[in-house]
Amino acid sequence: MDLDLIGDLKRIVGDRWVVSERESVMDYLLDETPDVVRPKPSSCVVVVKPCSAEEVSKILKLANERKVTVYPVGGRTGLVGGSIPTRPGIIISMERFKRIEVDNENLMATLGAGVTLGDLISAAEEAGLSFPLHPGDEGAFVGGLVATNAGGARAVKYGVMRNYVKGVEVVIPTGEILQLGGKLLKNNTGYNLMHLIIGSEGTLGIITEVTLKLYPQMKHSLTLIAPFNSRRDAIGAVPKILQSGVTPLAIEYVELDEILKSAEHLNEKWPVERGFSQLIIILTDVSEDALYSQAEEIESLCKENGSEELVVAETREEQDRILRIRSNLYTTLKPDVCDILDVVVPPNRLAELIDIIEELGVKYGAKLPVYGHAGDGNLHAHIMKVDGRPPEYFEEVKRKIYEASVKLGGVISGEHGVGKTRIKDLGLVLSGKEIELMREIKRVFDPNNILNPGKVIGEA
């Protein structure tokens, strides 16, 4: 690494916040992407830890002038190689952006990009408010959740990250600091650049601060687990629930073998050890009577669709344990996973997709466990290793699942994003013109292609 560059970076942020020793840098090179598909990182990088948008601006101006690549990183919980530095350059870690300010009157929180999901949830609750979304790993950084438009389990009722974001402070690759949006419920002034930044995966700018919408705390909640003996019966119950007028906070689909492994991994006990396929349904309401009325309606619908007796978790401790076990599924399976797919189809086509995945498993003799967010049609199908290695059919099966999803009216990613690992399959979903327009947008924001190059849209 260029010693002059390291010296200039130290003058911007201070000696303490520049890390170039190989051993210390290694912690910033990887994320949670499965090792089979994970891009190879460059170890010829320097890690810089700014604490303000102004410092980020100075770093980007320096990098843009010298045409040095820059990779923003947060909690490194991504699954598609989006934050992995694939070329020599600068890693900007957002770990020092920890400011939290909750505005009770406007039901908003203004947060530094380095605030974790766990910190955000706790700060909202301490203020008597709620941040309902739960994309999974509570160590994920808020800036990364916005940059990837994270979704997760509790998106059915209130939407994904995009639906919560009201303002962002972002530094673009040429060094300008933009203040987009704010504590506003309406904003129809020109093109909405803020929504262009949301989900851009760190290719258009570095998010330094975010303003998020919060909600009043729901006084009452229940978690139901409905066990079924077939995937199709379980998934078939979901549209009926959504049509009933009851809007759950979450409808999750899991399978018994995998959820039991996840519980064991955490030294916990899963409360329902019957039924090959299970739905986890989370309900919230301000009225206890309304909540139990909704639960009875859902129980009736599930039983009509073949469910066995439902289990109800009423205490906060029980509900948190269920969500924790569900959120640990990927961590449990990860050592044996070639890739975790993130396909999404219209919710009423999910049963068809499930059938196709079952047929592929039989045809190839493949183990293809699935779970996901049944309430919004987002399914995580896993292609597993065989004897510790990717099987010969790995790429072929993945492509067939993608093709089936697109044919059913879906896309190849519902929440994980494109990153590096999904680029070669973009053509299944996006037209040549759409990709061209995206690359032109990238050029406008980043004329020298320094920021997270080679991600999302390939080589711009």
Contact at 8 Å (CB) between 81 and 420? yes
In a domain, 170, yes or no: yes
Domain that residue 277 falls in: 220-327
Q: Would you tell me how many other CB atoms lie within 10 Å of the CB of residue 15?
A: 10
Same domain, 211 and 229: no
Task: Report the CATH number at residue 164.
Answer: 3.30.465.10
The number of domains in the chain is: 4
Same domain, 227 and 323: yes
In a domain, 18, yes or no: yes
Q: Would you tell me how many other CB atoms lie within 10 Å of the CB of residue 388?
A: 7
Same domain, 264 and 226: yes
Q: Write out pLDDT tens, residues 6-59.
A: 999 999 999 999 999 888 899 999 999 999 999 999 989 999 999 999 999 999
Q: Would you tell me how many other CB atoms lie within 10 Å of the CB of residue 37?
A: 22
Rounded to an integer, what distance in angstroms lies between the CA atom of residue 283 and that of residue 292?
9
Rg of the Cα atoms in the chain: 22
Domain boundary at 327, 342, 377, which?
327
Task: Report the CATH number at residue 235.
Answer: 3.30.70.2190
In a domain, 447, yes or no: no
Same domain, 228 and 258: yes
Contact at 8 Å (CB) between 49 and 95? yes
Rounded to an integer, what distance in angstroms lies between the CA atom of residue 334 and that of residue 346?
27
pLDDT given at position 43? 87
Q: Would you tell me how many other CB atoms lie within 10 Å of the CB of residue 224?
A: 22
Same domain, 360 and 373: yes
User: Does the CA dihedral 435-436-439-444 come out positive or negative?
Assistant: negative
Q: What residue type is assigned to position 248 of the chain?
A: P
Same domain, 317 and 395: no
In a domain, 436, yes or no: no
In a domain, 435, yes or no: no
For 32, the token pair is 């949670």
Domain boundary at 274, 303, 327, which?
327
Same domain, 166 and 79: no
Rounded to an integer, what distance in angstroms lies between the CA atom of residue 290 and that of residue 246?
10
Domain boundary at 291, 312, 327, which?
327
Task: Report the CATH number at residue 395.
Answer: 3.30.70.2740
Q: Write out pLDDT tens, residues 387-426.
A: 999 999 999 999 999 999 999 999 999 999 999 999 999 9
Mean pLDDT by 10 residues, the chain (460 residues): 90 97 91 96 96 98 98 97 97 98 98 98 97 92 97 92 98 98 95 98 98 94 96 93 93 96 97 95 93 95 96 94 95 96 95 94 96 95 96 97 98 96 96 96 97 91
Same domain, 81 and 128: no
In a domain, 425, yes or no: no
In a domain, 231, yes or no: yes
Same domain, 91 and 39: yes
- CA–centroid distance for 383 within its chain: 19
Q: What is the reported pTM? A: 0.95
